[in-house]
Amino acid sequence: MTVRQTLMSVLFIASLTQGCAFVRGTYGEDVQQGDVTTIKKGVSTRTEVASVLGAPDRIVEANGHEIHHYYQFDVKSGFILFFSRTNIQSKDVFVIFDKAGIVEELLVGKKKPPLEFQFWPFEWPSHSSPS
Amino acid sequence: MKPHVAFRLVLCMLAGVSIGCVRGPLTWQRVTLNEQIAQGDVAFIKEGRTRLMDVADRLGPPDEIQAVGESLIALYHFSDGRYFRADYGWALRFVLPFMAPEMVLGGGGFGTNTFQLICDDQWVVHEHAFAWHADSSEFRFWPFGDKAQ
């Protein structure tokens, strides 16, 4: 194959493809781990929580408890040639108040691993679902 | 705005943007929400003993908490969507440069999986269950015809 033929082949293959793109987006405010550590169970009030985390995104009332829900969505999308993959991760924090308006429980849990940019659409799920 | 509404809004925007940007002959697309939770990940849960806080320590906080009567329902959402698109008229642009009609066949689906915990007012888990999507998430090469029921 001559240089010219090779070049033409490369150009032809390149014309079939769609380039690449990497896109990042978020919805909502990120709750920092440091912010959460200032909230003390049995001590912090609604006002103190609001001054640290801001207004909740959602409030649920259950059995006399008030549950303040803070959430954020993180989106990373990768697109190379013919393949595209978009990963979305939600990060949630729940602050549960007792009837007196004092923090009773804090649902933060383990910090999720950072979301990855990926483009290959075929390998997930890594775990098999039950039959 | 409720979380599930926000989530759907984000998904719709993403799907719209990503599908709208794709204009090549072939495309395989995948959208995933959160890491999958498997049976083995929740084997530590003992109904009547494990508290929601213990679950959150292992799996992270749930995505949603709902109050139903005296009970609380905590939901973990993790989903998987796949889409395939082929433009069979794409090559015509080399033959008919002034009229390159699209001849697109493709399809896909978005399967929603949920892990659900039912807790009492002391946050103790009394029931837990998975809801798996059957086969809605798949690359579809042929959009016509329905699956046999």
Please indicate, yes or no, if residue B92 is contained in any of the structural domains: yes
Closest listed residue to residue A90, CA positions, set A73, A106, A102, A78: A73
Q: Could you read off the pLDDT of B92-141 as tens digits, one per residue?
A: 877 887 777 888 899 888 888 899 999 998 889 999 999 887 677 788 88
Q: What is the mean pLDDT of residues B20-26?
A: 65
Per-residue tokens: A17: 């493809």
Establish whether this prediction's ipTM goes over 0.85: no
Which of A79-88, B20-29, B38-47 is modeled with the greatest confidence?
B38-47
Domain hosting B120: range is: 3-131
Residues of A in contact with B82 (CB under 8 A): 121
Contact (Cβ atoms closer than 8 angstroms) between residue A28 and residue A58? no
How many domains, chain B?
1
What is the per-residue pLDDT for A128?
Answer: 45
Q: What are all long-range contacts of A119-122, with beta carbons under 8 Å and residues at least 24 apart?
A: A119/A20, A119/A78, A119/A79, A119/A80, A119/A83, A119/A84, A119/A85, A120/A83, A120/A85, A121/A83, A121/A84, A121/A85, A121/B28, A121/B29, A121/B30, A121/B82, A122/B28, A122/B30
Cβ distance B14 to A86 less than 8 Å, yes or no, reads yes
Alpha carbon distance B128, B116 (integer Å)? 6
Chain B interface disruption, residue of A11, A89, A103, A107, most B CBs within 10 A: A107
Q: Which of residues 54-113 of A touch B (CB under 8 A)?
A: 57-58, 60-63, 65, 67, 69, 71, 73, 75, 77, 79, 82-90, 92-94, 105, 107-112
Q: What is the mean pLDDT of residues B17-45?
A: 80
Pseudo-torsion of CA A77, B84, B24, A85, nearest 10°? 10
- Transcribe chain A into DSSP letters: --HHHHHHHHHHHHHHS--EEEEEEEESPPPPHHHHHT--TTT-BHHHHHHHH-S-SEEEEETTEEEEEEEEEEEEEEEETTEEEEEEEEEEEEEEE-TTSBEEEEE--SPPPPPPP----SS--SSPPP-
What is the per-residue pLDDT for A37?
Answer: 85
Domains of chain A: which residue ranges?
Answer: 17-107
Please indicate, yes or no, if residue B148 is contained in any of the structural domains: no
Which class does domain A17-107 fall in? Answer: alpha beta
Tens-digit pLDDT profile for chain A (131 aa)?
A: 688 888 877 776 666 666 788 888 888 887 776 778 889 999 999 999 999 888 999 999 887 889 999 988 888 988 888 888 888 888 889 999 998 999 998 888 666 677 778 877 786 554 444 43
Please indicate, yes or no, if residue B139 is contained in any of the structural domains: no
Residues of B in contact with A28 (CB under 8 A): 6
Please indicate, yes or no, if residue B65 is contained in any of the structural domains: yes
Is the pLDDT confidence value at B19 over 70? no
Residues of A in contact with B17 (CB under 8 A): 23
